[in-house]
Structure 1
């Protein structure tokens, strides 16, 4: 038996009997909360489509390209900086709750870290106002303001997500996702009457802060007290947070380069009709990202659950949950790929209108890449639960680097290059992450 396995087994033996007795309480999830998480996850994806279809049909492919750049840029920055915060809080709080420790030191440390990062990135974006406005948004300053506001809002949103996931309050997490999508659509409704990129930008930014507030206003927010129910305070110095958060930031950045980097690379490369081409790439990518939206809710429960299993030495259950989740998501992505092959071009035209064109083969390739991306994301959660974030970061960065290199080097049409590069990069990340999970198994 490996040293790691002996350590985990010894740790499990030292868990007090009163914690063992509390296991059914900790592991049980209220069905209504699980249902709300499912509803919030599905609604978040559906409402994202509603917003983008509304914006695309109102603005047309050229101006919509700027909104696509805002969306991609905001989530690239926000996920790069704040998803590691979510994962750090979720894993550390779940571990503390599983060991019957008071998680308030974890929450304070993470809050200070998150606030500092939010202020720093806001200042950097404000200092780069001119280049961002002219380079990405075609001189539309309102979109730059929305970018800064949205990134700051998602700083708060991802912190709340991590707290909800860590205490396994999945109803609160689902409510956050639901509010995020609903607010964006409601604020964007004037687009039915006026083709205004400013209205679309405000809607994108408003969703970030509104989603963060929603769980804190709900009558069931007392579930957050689970984080403070332990008898002894947990230990979580800033150095421990940084050691987990830094490789998690590499993971988040690599994920966003893969899933959102295509339109940005098109705009950066420039050339005739670059904005229109970026709009088409963004629209097609969004069309096939339904499984990625679904994974938001799955990840919210998967990481804290796997962390709880690992903390208690239940490695077999953690492994089974990882494999079953990956298989289910891969099957979903396969269905999407078949649908893209059969109906992809027609769906693009029906949803987005004239000017949004892509071949069925390229759409199917992109959908298969989504399957690889989801498999990689699932097995990544297993490595994070084992505190092997550095190894996971290495796997993800290899996939992201391959995506960028191929997109810049391949010949052919813009969307064809993006589809192939995304599929290869995602599959490479998936294969290396799966191999790493098997290699590090206790």
Structure 2
């Protein structure tokens, strides 16, 4: 089935093929999603505060590099698969179609990506261990194992998002964060980076398994559709959507996690310390990003359902509303960073984690632009305009790297202002793209 056929115009969809029961999300599912999203953010803070305070800024720099590298690679490799699954399944479900061919094609693609990425990481074991983790091989092992676990986790997320089972998605997010903190509790007594590494890796695996412990037989029914012959969904169709989505994911991670990694790669006598402080500061101001991961999971399938049903005005209203709410939240975080940012850094992370209030505020402003860009990006993906969305994010990533290299001042100052300017650029370009396709 070609992309054009799979995403036929809303006018061509018979009214009887649409599924009114999917218009509303179950209140229990919505509550579980909200709790899981909030808990995921709180537990991420708890883990990083525990690791930073027990390990100190120098050793925490390596753990922070594992955290950033893990999620950069997981998002780059597997979130495009999640989004491909989520969008294609929700489109088929809204039209009354059979989504099983979508699942099979995405599963084959996920298996190939997982095998290739594991082989590459094993081949680069030495350079990764020495260049990124300061010779700590246990951090490299955690990266390999955890990345494989997130391959399964993101595949499960795509299934749950596609059928709009947001309760299961919330349980996955909660389990991911809770397992990480529980495994890391021995850090209170033993300041070992190996414990922190094990916590990060095991969280990926445990989070993927958690939703399977719940009874959700109706999920398979929704994926299978209402009978009839299933239309094929070639692997090429999945790749055509996943490829630009991978560009988007990679550029997002360059912006939100790339600064500390650039500092580590550049090296220098204080690289580990500077990177550790940057990881901590990024965590301090990125609370809205943790909230957004849950919103994003529900936003794409919901917007796709609106698009499939021809409700473009509703799609536009939902996009603008979410963007305004998240931007407003980020503005409050920026004001707080300007007022008490340095104090909050010392209270949360302890001695040695020092950052200027203006730099923290610039980083928080960038979070607002980042979230606005992410929201408008979901609208473009729902409309099948992944390529147009990728262009905006690519421009922002290039601007971020160039500014980080060219701006004067300390590493923290360069990363903060580069992130703020590039993220606002991403937001403006994404908003303009949505406006042109409205």
Q: TM-score range by the shorter chain?
A: over 0.9
Correspondence for 2:13? 15
Structure 2 distance, partners of 1:195, 1:127, is: 30
Structure 1 distance, partners of 2:260, 2:348, is: 19
Q: Structure 1: state its 5+ residue gaps.
A: 1-6
Correspondence for 2:88? 92
1:195-274, aligned counterparts within 5 Å? 195-220=191-216, 222-232=218-228, 233-274=230-271
Correspondence for 1:3? none
Correspondence for 1:176? 172
Contact kept in structure 1, 2:79 and 2:154, CA below 8 Å: yes
Contact kept in structure 2, 1:103 and 1:230, CA below 8 Å: no
1:121-160, aligned counterparts within 5 Å? 121-160=117-156
Structure 2 distance, partners of 1:368, 1:41, is: 22
Cα deviation for residue 226 of structure 1 reads: 1.2
Contact kept in structure 2, 1:96 and 1:234, CA below 8 Å: no
How big is each residue's C-alpha offset from its partner over 1:298-327, in whole Å with a ceiling of 9 and x where there is no partner? Answer: 011100011111111111000000000000
Corresponding position: 1:186 with 2:182: yes
Change (3 A) 1:313 1:266: same
Contact kept in structure 2, 1:44 and 1:177, CA below 8 Å: yes
SS of the residue aligned with 1:411? Answer: coil
Correspondence for 2:106? 110
Corresponding position: 1:63 with 2:59: yes
Corresponding position: 1:433 with 2:397: no
Change (3 A) 1:63 1:178: same
Cα deviation for residue 223 of structure 1 reads: 3.0
Equivalent in 303, 307, 310 of residue 310 of structure 1: 307
Structure 2 distance, partners of 1:48, 1:196, is: 18
Cα deviation for residue 421 of structure 1 reads: 0.2
Correspondence for 1:36? 32
Correspondence for 2:382? 385
How big is each residue's C-alpha offset from its partner over 1:156-175, in whole Å with a ceiling of 9 and x where there is no partner? Answer: 11111111000000001000
Change (3 A) 1:419 1:406: same
Equivalent in 254, 279, 289 of residue 282 of structure 1: 279
Structure 1 distance, partners of 2:9, 2:417, is: 46
Cα deviation for residue 264 of structure 1 reads: 0.3
Cα deviation for residue 116 of structure 1 reads: 0.8
Contact kept in structure 2, 1:288 and 1:366, CA below 8 Å: yes
SS of the residue aligned with 1:102? Answer: coil
Structure 1 distance, partners of 2:97, 2:259, is: 44
Correspondence for 1:413? 410
Correspondence for 1:4? none
Correspondence for 1:351? 348
User: Where does structure 1 differ by over 4 angstroms across 4 or more consecutive aligned residues?
Assistant: 7-10
SS of the residue aligned with 2:352? Answer: coil
Structure 2 distance, partners of 1:270, 1:207, is: 30
Equivalent in 85, 97, 119 of residue 101 of structure 1: 97
Equivalent in 323, 328, 337 of residue 331 of structure 1: 328
Cα deviation for residue 408 of structure 1 reads: 1.1
TM (normalized to structure 1)?
Answer: 0.96
How big is each residue's C-alpha offset from its partner over 1:127-178, in whole Å with a ceiling of 9 and x where there is no partner? Answer: 0000000011111100000000111111111111111000000001000000
SS of the residue aligned with 2:59? Answer: helix
How big is each residue's C-alpha offset from its partner over 1:396-430, in whole Å with a ceiling of 9 and x where there is no partner? Answer: 01001100111111110111100000001101111
- Comparing 229-238 with 377-386, greater Cα deviation is found at 229-238
Change (3 A) 1:336 1:367: same
Structure 2 distance, partners of 1:419, 1:11, is: 43
SS of the residue aligned with 1:101? Answer: coil
Structure 1 distance, partners of 2:262, 2:126, is: 19
Change (3 A) 1:8 1:323: farther
Cα deviation for residue 224 of structure 1 reads: 4.2
Contact kept in structure 1, 2:10 and 2:307, CA below 8 Å: no
Cα deviation for residue 258 of structure 1 reads: 0.2
Structure 2 distance, partners of 1:181, 1:225, is: 30
Contact kept in structure 2, 1:82 and 1:155, CA below 8 Å: yes
Correspondence for 1:361? 358
Structure 2 distance, partners of 1:185, 1:304, is: 30
SS of the residue aligned with 1:271? Answer: coil
TM (normalized to structure 2)?
Answer: 0.97
